[in-house]
Structure 1
C-alpha cells in the first residue's frame, strides 16, 4: 500500500465515507458549534457519567492543531482535572483530511479496547510527522504497540459495521454544529481562544471548568 493511502483492502463504503467527510471538513478548515448531549460511541476518562462538569473535545488524529494542543496542554489538563476526577473528559472523533487515515486510526483505537483507546489516539497525534511520510506503517506500528496483530488491524480498518459507526459519529458531530477541530465544550458551552494557533488555551478551558465546579 502506498503513502497516498489507497487502502486496497478498504471497502467501497470506506472510500465514499472518507471522500464525503473530507469535503465537509475542508469547507470548515482545521481549527474552530453546540454539543453537550451524550452521543453513541463516546469514549471518556475521569469522573463517571453524570459528573458535575463534562468536557467534550471534538478532534482528529490527522489534525495538526489537535496535535499541538495535546503537546502543549494535555498533561496539565489531565493532571489537574482528569486524574483528580473533577471532570468527565469525553473525546469525540471527527476525521480531518486525509480522512481515510483518520478513520483507520479511530478504528484501530477502538479495536484496541477502552483501556488502550486513549493510548492509541495520543500516540497517533504525537506521530503525525511520521504518519505523513508513511501512514500505513505508522498505523500498523501504533496498532502493534497496542497489542493488535497485523491481521487484526486489517480487519479493524475494513470492518463494515465499524466504518458505518464512524460515519454516524462524524455526521452527528457536524449536525451538532461542530465546524472544526479541536473544538471544546464545557457543560455544553463552547470554549474558544481567539487567535490561538493550537486551539483553546488551557487557561481559558480552566476558567470555564472552574466556574462550573464553583456552582452549587
Structure 2
C-alpha cells in the first residue's frame, strides 16, 4: 500500500482522534462505559496518571530476544490489506522459526494513512505491551469487519469506533479503559509525531515495509523472507 501523505493530513488525524467527538455512544452497554469513564476521569490521581502517560515517549512494541543477531523493524498500517495478509500469513512462520528461537528481534511500528488506523493503534496500545500483539492480531484478522464502507463521516466514524471497541472488549479491556484510551488527544498527537519521525528517518514509502539490520526492504512472502534472514544470520556467524 503506497504511502503518500498530504499536507495537513496529520493535523486532520488529530482533529478526529477523540472517539467521543467521532461517534455516538452505543446503546445501553456503551452508556454504562461512558459513565464509568466519567467517574474515572473525576479522580484527580487517575487524571494525573493519564496525563503523564500521554506525555511519555511512545514505546516500540517488541518480540524476541534483546540480543538476537538480526533486528527487523516492521512498518504496517491497520487499514492496509497487504499488512493484514502478511500478519496472518508469513509472519506466523517467521515468529515460529526465527523470533521464538532467539534468532530475530522484531519491532512493530504503526503507519497512519487515516483516522481509522490511528484509532486502531490507540486500541492496540491500550492494554500495554503485554496485550499489544494479541490485539494487533485481532485487528488485522477482523480488518474487513471494522473498516467502514464509504459514506458520511459521522456514519463511518461511528461504525469504526463501535467495532474497535468490540475488539478491545474481546481482548479483555474494560469499557472505562477503552474510553480513556480513545479520548486521549495527547497520546494521539504523540503517536502521529512518532510515526512521522519514523517514516522520515527510515524513508518509508509503502506498507508493509521492513528494515532488516538497517536495510530497507519491501513486502515479500515467507520463503524470500526466510532466505533474507538466513543470509543475515550467516553474516552474523550464526
For the aligned pair, the TM-score class normalised by the smaller chain equals: 0.7 to 0.9
Q: Report matched runs for 1:123-134 at 5 Å.
A: 123-133=138-148, 134=159
Alignment match of 1:107 (pick from 114, 122, 147)? 122
Equivalent residue, structure 1, for 2:110: 93
Distance 1:14 1:40, change over 3 A: closer
Greater helix share, 1 or 2? 2
Equivalent residue, structure 2, for 1:181: 207
Instruction: Give the distance between the partners of 1:139 and 1:183, measured in 2 at CA.
Output: 24
Instruction: Give the distance between the partners of 2:223 and 2:231, measured in 1 at CA.
Output: 12
Equivalent residue, structure 2, for 1:31: none
Alignment match of 2:178 (pick from 153, 156, 171)? 153
Deviation of 1:137 after TM superposition, in Å, equals: 2.4
Deviation of 1:46 after TM superposition, in Å, equals: 0.9
Deviation of 1:13 after TM superposition, in Å, equals: 7.1
Instruction: Give the distance between the partners of 1:13 and 1:191, measured in 2 at CA.
Output: 27
- Contact kept? 1:41, 1:169, Cα under 8 Å: no
Distance 1:86 1:173, change over 3 A: same
Question: C-alpha deviations, 1:101-123, integer Å up to 9, x for none?
Answer: 11111111111111110111111
Deviation of 1:16 after TM superposition, in Å, equals: 6.5
Question: C-alpha deviations, 1:72-105, integer Å up to 9, x for none?
Answer: 2121111111111111000011012xx2111111
| RMSD of Structure 2 on Structure 1 (CA) | 2.3
TM-score normalized with structure 1 length: 0.75
Deviation of 1:174 after TM superposition, in Å, equals: 2.2
Range with bigger deviation, 148-157 or 61-70? 148-157
SS state at 2:182 partner = helix
Structure with higher Rg: it is: 2
Equivalent residue, structure 1, for 2:216: 190
Equivalent residue, structure 1, for 2:160: 135
Deviation of 1:61 after TM superposition, in Å, equals: 1.1
Equivalent residue, structure 1, for 2:83: 66
Deviation of 1:210 after TM superposition, in Å, equals: 0.8
Distance 1:81 1:149, change over 3 A: same
1:41 equivalent to 2:59? Answer yes
Instruction: Give the distance between the partners of 2:72 and 2:12, measured in 1 at CA.
Output: 35
Gap runs ≥5 in structure 1: 1-10, 19-38, 193-198
